[in-house]
């Protein structure tokens, strides 16, 4: 008696969405390429911040919203990424792009033993565990007073030889390429069969395992991928900021930003974090000192959204207007949708 049909949400929109998607893509890329020209250094800096935060949010979204691994310790990889960049570029003299990639690799390598331990924990205990991992790394760095200068932190010297405009342009270009690349990768992953498997794991790990999905491997893959991505972005962040200290790099505030952006924007969607990041930046303009009040406000809005609109702003938009820019959702249609052939 159940008439159900899995309808790829792009069905029926397929032609429209391809044109729409391409047009949007061209527009965005064009604007980004042109930004240094018509925006200047201030706009470039802001875009770097925007893109790094957006990428971090998309990665957290993949980890928590899609796979159900609620990490509150992503700052671990940001810190590792930042410090790895400085060590590789300054201490070993390798070029910046190498430094970026190795930053991601370093994070992923550390994420491996972390996962081995953390995956023994479930639910909230897993979350606190991720925080403990970040704390351990913070303490180790703070105690490395010779090599990493401990609590005093370090400054990236490798780019000091360049002219400021060149450095800023380089940072900008790298951020745009890497940021968009990671976001595209996340999107592709969510749309793939692996993405479907991840949602199955999130919804019920036992059921997914019973269906033959290799849950442990899938979870590990996503965890390592997100660590790599976050490490990479961490390196980008400190390529931009230049100065790193353990307390700032390994601060839980990074995770707080990621979480609030994703919740407010819309968990489990690609568009959600974009909206969330935009709102975040708008908020920052209004609350110029961006201190405690903005965090309280963000926190309160996030809590209220979880209570009354857990799908976030984009979720509300999607429901009311049945509209998607980056379709990743599969919908179970009732028999009335028979008209849409799948």
Partner 1 sequence: MSMLVVDSIEVFYGEFQALFGVNLEVAEGETVAIIGANGAGKTTLLRTIAGVLCPRSGQVLYRGMRIDGHPAYAVTRLGIAMVPEGRKIFPSLSVRENLLIGRQSGRKGPWNIERVFDLFPVLRERADFPGIDLSGGQQQMLAIGRALMSNPDLILMDEISLGLAPVVVRELYETVQEITRAGTTVVIVEQDVTRSLQVADRVYCLLEGEVSLSGRPVDLSREQISLAYFGV
Partner 2 sequence: MDWASTIVQGLLLGGFYALYGIGLSLIFGVMRLVNLAHGDLIVCAAYLSLVLIDVSGLPPLLTLMIVIPGMFGLGVVLQRGVLNRVLGSGPMPPLLITFGISIIIQNGLLLMFTADTQRLPAGSLETASVPLGGWVTVGVLPILNMAIAILAIIGLQQFMGRTDLGRAFRATSDDPTTAELMGIDSKQIYGLAMGASLALIAVAGILLGMRTTFGPSDGPARLIYAFEAVIIGGLGSLWGTFAGGLLLGVAQSIGAAINPGWFQLAGHILALLVLAIRPTGLFARTRDL
Catalog residues that contact partner 1 under the rule CB under 8 A: 1-2, 332, 334
Nearer to partner 2, 72 or 244 (CB): 72
Which of 78, 96, 216, 80 is CA-nearest to residue 156?
Answer: 96
140 is in the binding site of which of partner 1, partner 2, none (Cβ under 5 to 8 A by kind)? partner 2
Task: Residue 180: count other Cβ atoms within 10 Å of its Cβ.
Answer: 17
CB of 15 to partner 1, least distance (A): 29
Q: How far is CA 285 from the centre of its chain?
A: 22
Build a one-symbol-per-residue string for 261-280: x at contacts with partner 2 by CB under 8 A, - elsewhere. --x-----------------
Which token pair is 274?
């974009």
CB of 94 to partner 1, least distance (A): 55
Any contact of residue 24 with partner 2 (CB under 8 A)? no
Task: Report how far apart, in Å, the C-alpha atoms of 296 and of each of 223, 279, 292, 300 are.
Answer: 29, 15, 6, 6
Pairing of strands 330-333, 243-244: unpaired
3-class SS string, 267-291? CCCCHHHHHHHHHHHHHHHHCCCCC
For residue 183, how many C-alpha atoms fall within 13 Å in the half-sphere facing its CB?
23
Task: Report how far apart, in Å, the C-alpha atoms of 75 and of each of 172, 282, 339 are.
Answer: 22, 23, 48
Among 120, 164, 217, 243, binds partner 2 (CB under 8 A): 120
**Residue 145, φ and ψ in degrees, nearest 5:** -75, -25
Which token pair is 43?
């706009």
27 is in the binding site of which of partner 2, partner 1, none (Cβ under 5 to 8 A by kind)? none
Any contact of residue 311 with partner 2 (CB under 8 A)? no
CB of 272 to partner 1, least distance (A): 24
68 is in the binding site of which of partner 2, partner 1, none (Cβ under 5 to 8 A by kind)? partner 2
Nearer to partner 1, 1 or 37 (CB): 1
Any contact of residue 292 with partner 2 (CB under 8 A)? yes
CA distance linking residue 202 with residue 26, whole number of Å: 34
296 is in the binding site of which of partner 2, partner 1, none (Cβ under 5 to 8 A by kind)? partner 2
Any contact of residue 124 with partner 2 (CB under 8 A)? yes
Sequence-ordered list of residues with C-beta below 8 angstroms from that of 77, at least 6 positions apart, any chain:
107, 110, 111, 226, 227, 230, 231, 234
Any contact of residue 309 with partner 2 (CB under 8 A)? no
Among 7, 94, 128, 248, binds partner 2 (CB under 8 A): 128
Q: How far is CA 299 from the centre of its chain?
A: 19
**Residue 323, φ and ψ in degrees, nearest 5:** -130, 135
CB of 2 to partner 1, least distance (A): 6
Residues 69-98 that bind partner 2 (CB under 8 A): 70, 72
Among 132, 196, 248, 287, binds partner 2 (CB under 8 A): 132
310 is in the binding site of which of partner 2, partner 1, none (Cβ under 5 to 8 A by kind)? partner 2
Where does this chain bind partner 2 (CB under 8 A)? 64, 68, 70, 72, 116-117, 120-121, 123-125, 127-129, 131-132, 135-136, 139-140, 142-143, 252, 256, 259-260, 263, 291-293, 295-296, 298-300, 302-303, 306-307, 310
């Amino acid at each position: 008696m159940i008439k159900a049909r899995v309808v790829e949400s792009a069905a029926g929109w397929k032609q429209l969405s391809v044109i729409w998607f391409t047009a949007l893509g061209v527009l965005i890329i064009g604007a980004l390429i042109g930004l240094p020209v018509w925006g200047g250094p201030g706009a470039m800096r802001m875009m770097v911040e925007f893109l790094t935060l957006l990428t971090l949010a998309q990665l957290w979204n993949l980890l928590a919203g899609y796979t159900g691994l609620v990490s509150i310790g992503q700052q671990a990889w940001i810190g590792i990424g930042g410090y790895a960049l400085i060590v590789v570029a300054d201490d070993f003299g390798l070029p910046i792009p190498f430094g970026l990639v190795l930053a991601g690799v370093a994070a992923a390598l550390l994420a491996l033993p972390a996962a081995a331990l953390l995956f023994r924990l479930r639910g909230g205990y897993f979350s606190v565990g991720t925080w403990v991992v970040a704390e351990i790394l913070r303490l180790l760095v703070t105690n490395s007073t010779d090599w990493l200068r401990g609590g005093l932190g370090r400054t990236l010297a490798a780019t000091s030889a360049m002219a400021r405009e060149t450095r800023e342009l380089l940072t900008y270009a790298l951020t745009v390429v890497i940021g968009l690349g990671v976001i595209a990768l996340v999107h592709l992953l969510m749309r793939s069969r692996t993405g479907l498997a991840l949602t199955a794991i999130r919804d019920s790990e036992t059921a997914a395992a019973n269906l033959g999905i290799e849950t442990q491997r899938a979870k590990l893959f996503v965890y390592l991928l997100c660590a790599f991505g976050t490490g990479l972005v961490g390196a980008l962040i400190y390529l931009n900021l230049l100065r790193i200290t353990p307390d700032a790099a390994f601060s839980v505030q990074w995770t707080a930003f990621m979480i609030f952006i994703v919740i407010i924007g819309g968990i489990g969607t690609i568009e959600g974090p974009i909206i969330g990041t935009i709102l975040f930046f708008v908020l920052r303009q209004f609350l110029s000192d961006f201190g405690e009040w903005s965090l309280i406000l963000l926190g309160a809005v996030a809590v209220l959204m979880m209570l009354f609109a857990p799908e976030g702003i984009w979720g509300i938009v999607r429901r009311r207007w049945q509209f998607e820019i980056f379709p990743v959702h599969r919908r179970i249609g009732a028999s009335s949708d028979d008209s849409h052939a799948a």
